[in-house]
C-alpha cells in the first residue's frame, strides 16, 4: 500500500478533502493531510486565494515541503488546485517520490526543473470547461506533461466546475468525483505492482 501526502485547495482543509483522504485510507493506504492554512477555512475560493497571496504562495509551498520532511521519502503527492503547488514541487524535486495525483491544476514542468522525473508516475484530473483548469492554461500544461513524461495520464471530465472533487462544496460533481476517485485508487494500486 502507498503512503500518501494530500494538500488541500484554496478553501482550506475542508470536510471534502478529509473525505477523499478517508477513501484512500479505507482502501488500505496511509494518508497524511496537513493544514497549510493553519486552521483557517474560507467560504469562497476568492477569499482563500487572497489569504494565500497575503501569506505568499511560497509560504504555502514551504509549509507543504515542511510537512513532507517529517515523513518517509517514498510518498505519493496529491494536490487539489492550490495544493498542486507543493505536490508538484515535491514530486519533481524530492528524491524517491513514488507518484503524483494533480487534481484540477497542473503547473509547467519548468517551474520545478527541466523535465518530469522518469520514475514518477503522474495523473492529472480536470474539467474541460473549468475556468481555472481549462481557461488558465493548466490543461495545456497537463497535455504537455503527458507528451513528455513516460508514465503520465490526463483525465478530462465534461463540465465547468472547479473543485468538482470536493464533496463538501457546491461545485461538487458526484459522478465525475467518483470516477476521479476510482482512477486515483487504481493509480495507487498500480504503484504497488512490480515493474517489468
pLDDT for residue 8: 98
Residue 193 has pLDDT above 80, yes or no: no
C-beta of residue 86 within 8 angstroms of C-beta of residue 36: yes
Sheet holding 99-103, edge to edge: 30-32, 3-7, 76-80, 99-103, 122-127, 152-157
pLDDT for residue 196: 40
* 3-class state of residue 11 by DSSP: coil
Q: For the segment 145-161, what is each residue's pLDDT rounded down to a tens digit? A: 999 998 999 999 999 99
The residue ranges of every structural domain in the chain are 3-191
Residue 43 has pLDDT above 90, yes or no: yes
Q: Which helix (H) or strand (E) holds 43?
A: none
Count CB neighbours of 10 within 10 A: 24
pLDDT for residue 89: 98
Contacts of 16 (CB under 8 A, 6+ apart): 165, 166, 167, 168, 169, 172
- CA–CA gap between residue 22 and residue 177 (Å, rounded): 14
For the chain, give percent helix, strand, coil, nearest 5: 40, 15, 40
C-beta of residue 152 within 8 angstroms of C-beta of residue 122: yes
Q: Does domain 3-191 have CATH number 3.40.50.300?
A: no
pTM > 0.85: yes or no: yes
Residue 194 has pLDDT above 70, yes or no: no
Residue 181 has pLDDT above 60, yes or no: yes
User: 192 pLDDT band (50/70/90 cuts)?
Assistant: confident
- CA–CA gap between residue 91 and residue 84 (Å, rounded): 10
Residue 86 has pLDDT above 80, yes or no: yes
Q: For the segment 123-149, what is each residue's pLDDT rounded down to a tens digit? A: 999 999 999 999 999 999 999 999 999
Amino acid at each position: 500500500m502507498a503512503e500518501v501526502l494530500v494538500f488541500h485547495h484554496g478553501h482550506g482543509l475542508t470536510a471534502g478533502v478529509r473525505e477523499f483522504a478517508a477513501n484512500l485510507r479505507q482502501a488500505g493506504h496511509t494518508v497524511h493531510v496537513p493544514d497549510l492554512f493553519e486552521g483557517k477555512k474560507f467560504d469562497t475560493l476568492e477569499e482563500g486565494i487572497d489569504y494565500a497571496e497575503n501569506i505568499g504562495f511560497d509560504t504555502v509551498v514551504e509549509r507543504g515541503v515542511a510537512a513532507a520532511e517529517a515523513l518517509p521519502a517514498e510518498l505519493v503527492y496529491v494536490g487539489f488546485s492550490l495544493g498542486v503547488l507543493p505536490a508538484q514541487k515535491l514530486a519533481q524535486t524530492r528524491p524517491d517520490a513514488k507518484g503524483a495525483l494533480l487534481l484540477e491544476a497542473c503547473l509547467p514542468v519548468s517551474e520545478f526543473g527541466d523535465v518530469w522525473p522518469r520514475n514518477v508516475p503522474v495523473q492529472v484530473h480536470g474539467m474541460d470547461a473549468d475556468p481555472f483548469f481549462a481557461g488558465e492554461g493548466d490543461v495545456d500544461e497537463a497535455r504537455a506533461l503527458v507528451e513528455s513524461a513516460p508514465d503520465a495520464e490526463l483525465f478530462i471530465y465534461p463540465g465547468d466546475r472547479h473543485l468538482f472533487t470536493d464533496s463538501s462544496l457546491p461545485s461538487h460533481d458526484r459522478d465525475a468525483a467518483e470516477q476521479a476517485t476510482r482512477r486515483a485508487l487504481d493509480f495507487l494500486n498500480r504503484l504497488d505492482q512490480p515493474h517489468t
